[in-house]
A and B are shown apart, each in its own frame.
Chain A
Amino acid sequence: MNTSLFLGKQALPKFSKCNITKTLHKRFFANVSEESKQQSELFRFESKRQREAVGRIEKIEVKYEGPPEESTLMMNKYLSTPYDCAKHLGEIVANRSAVALVNGETLWHMHKPLEDSCSIQLLHYNIPQPAAVNKTYWRSCSFLLGAVINNCFKDNVNVQLHSFPSPNVRSGSFIYDAQLSLDNWMPTETELRVLSAEMVKFCRQNNPIECLNVDADFALLVFKNNPHKTQQIPSIAASNKGRVTLFKVGHHIDISRGPMITNTSHLGRITIANVFKLNTDIPGGPIYRFQGVSLPYSIVLNHVAYSILENRAKKLNPARIPGLHGVSDEDGSFVKHAVA
């Protein structure tokens, strides 16, 4: 096996600088599949429709608690997001805030419109009790890993994303389970490095992570080509009043109960450490578990300590292995209750 599984790597001729730049340039835009583009177009239409359905704009009063100073902001109901509030408070606050805490209890995605007058806190990675932020970060890493898996394989490898389990930072790695049309694929060091580099490149595009709450029919329309997600959507919707929360980054869309971090620029060091084949009864091909480890950009760790984390992430993560039956409600990629 060599790196030729991945897009664009085979096309790189040696010793010709001109060709390399051309290929890379092409590669940068070509790796988004037609299906992803359609999905993101649907997402865009739906979010536009929801924005227009707001109608008459009402004002809400948002109390901000925290540095640099407490303030009260007049925002628009169903339109303004915590990120809009953060922009009023300054660039530093806007760039570092990972997730908002509404009324001191509900974690709120930074790009999700606020629904009523409330008080918000903006959480970032270096706070005294960052457990919620860490979990959000880990979930977002899984989500972004899914985006990378979706984009980076060549057309002759059929990729169907399955799901990712509830984020658990203590397990040492974030996970995405995906179905590949490859039998007994054992990734080499080079392939893992290419995957990591793809993820780094993807995150350097600084895409915001958007959020949209839709009904089950629309979600089924978006994921009509993915048998796993199609199967998961009804049970997710049933436990969430018929609604499904979608997240979008770049052209990639996924289901998750959220919340996610604000922007892909928050990711600092990223390693995709290992890929395991799982024993499951899911039809249509083997399921592979992609594992990685990552740290936010604001946390700098020396390479020796980071290599310890990398080595740990190489071991199989003991999280629940997906099966044909039993979409468990502990599963984080499914909506359980509206915390997003």
Chain B
Amino acid sequence: MNQADVSKLVSKLKIKVNPRLRKFRNAEGPLGRLKKLRKTVTALVKHERIELNYPRADEARMYAERLISEAIRYGDCHKTTMELADFWLEEKQLVHKLFKVLVPRFQDYNVSYTHMYRAPRPYPGPMHKKAVLELRGNPYPSLLPDMISNRNLIHNVLLDEAKKEYRAQKYAEIAAKIESAENQFIGKADTSSNTSNEEIATSEKSRVKDAEGSISESSEINKVQDDKK
């Protein structure tokens, strides 16, 4: 059977999509639901970080992600995408923001374009779960505590020391390699005077190069720390 490859028709989102959509029951029916979500998507694009009830945030996030990914995929000269943007963004100046600000910002991202956090609910107060929905790369300070830049925190102290120890171990290995190469060189020079000194020198150089290569490859710990960021 000739079945269409779905990923070519619809852009694949980088967030988990709910298998069942929430109804958000209201007098206007499904259109009313979309109108509600439209308000939220517009607010998200406008303010870049909003706090709202969890179900609405979760639902609107999917539409916002879809909108941005379509905009990146087809650009602003695509009629359908422009209609989509026209529908989802109630304030029309935000259509410009979508194509001129958000598309350049997100086009190289290989993660989701939005970020959602669970937020505390006021106590005492209504029992609804709250969430914070934000666009990545927004200009506000991060909501999560910064655990990286302060190197005096206990995990950073431990990681830094581990890194130092790893470095020291690698340098010791390199030193041992060079030493063994030197020993070989002296040994060879003593036994066989036929071998030209130049050849041995080049072989030694290559050994040293190998060793240097190994230390540059082996900066795993560095990488891990960067990942953490």
- Tell me whether A and B are bound partners: yes
> A104-142 toward B: CB 8 Å interface, digit per residue (1/0)?
000000000000000000000110111101100100000
> B10-35 toward A: CB 8 Å interface, digit per residue (1/0)?
00000000000000000000000000
Q: Which chain B residue lies CB-closest to A311?
A: B162
- Contact at B159–A305, with CB atoms within 8 Å? yes
Chain B interfacial residues counted at CB < 8 A: 18
Tell whether A299 is near chain B: CB-to-CB under 8 Å. Answer: yes
With contacts A134-B157, A170-B157, A308-B224 known, is A128 near B152, CB below 8 A? yes
- Contact at A312–B154, with CB atoms within 8 Å? no
Tell whether B221 is near chain A: CB-to-CB under 8 Å. Answer: yes
- Contact at B150–A305, with CB atoms within 8 Å? no
CA distance A304 to B158 in the complex (A): 14
- Contact at B157–A126, with CB atoms within 8 Å? no
- Contact at B153–A125, with CB atoms within 8 Å? yes
Interface of B is mostly: helix
Q: In which size bucket is the chain A interface?
A: 20 to 34
B165 in complex: contacting residue of A133, A169, A312, CB < 8 Å: A312
Tell whether B39 is near chain A: CB-to-CB under 8 Å. Answer: no
B145 in complex: contacting residue of A126, A170, A172, A296, CB < 8 Å: A126
Tell whether B119 is near chain A: CB-to-CB under 8 Å. Answer: no
- Closest 6 A-B residue pairs measured CB to CB? A134-B154, A312-B162, A170-B161, A309-B158, A301-B155, A299-B155
A sample of 27 cross-chain residue pairs with beta-carbon separation below 8 angstroms, ordered by A number, consists of A125-B153, A126-B150, A129-B152, A130-B150, A130-B152, A134-B152, A169-B154, A169-B157, A169-B158, A171-B161, A172-B158, A172-B165, A295-B154, A295-B155, A296-B154, A299-B147, A299-B153, A300-B147, A301-B228, A302-B227, A304-B227, A305-B224, A305-B225, A308-B159, A308-B162, A309-B155, A309-B162
10 A-B pairs besides A126-B153, A134-B153, A293-B158 with CB distance below 8 A are A125-B153, A126-B147, A130-B152, A134-B157, A169-B158, A171-B161, A172-B162, A301-B155, A308-B162, A309-B159
